[in-house]
Structure 1
Amino acid sequence: MAGGEPTRQTHYELLQLPPSATVEELRRAFRSLSKRYHPDTTSLPAAEANERFRLLQEAYTTLSDPARREAYDGLLRPPAPPRPVPVPRRGEPRLRPVRRDFSSGEWFALLLLGLALSASLVLGVGMAWVQGTELVRQPSWWGKRRRRI
Structure 2
Amino acid sequence: MTLQTSTGPSAPFGNQPKREKPPSVKFVLLIWILLIVLGIGAAYLYSNHVKQEMIKQLQASTENQMNDLKKSYEAQFNELAGQVKELESKVQSFNELLTFTKDNATSKTDNSNKLYTQLNEVKKQLDTLQKKMDLLK
Same-fold call, TM cutoff 0.5? no
Larger Rg: 2
Structure with greater contact order relative to length (CA < 8 Å, sep ≥ 6): 2
Q: TM-score, normalised by structure 2?
A: 0.26
Q: TM-score, normalised by structure 1?
A: 0.24
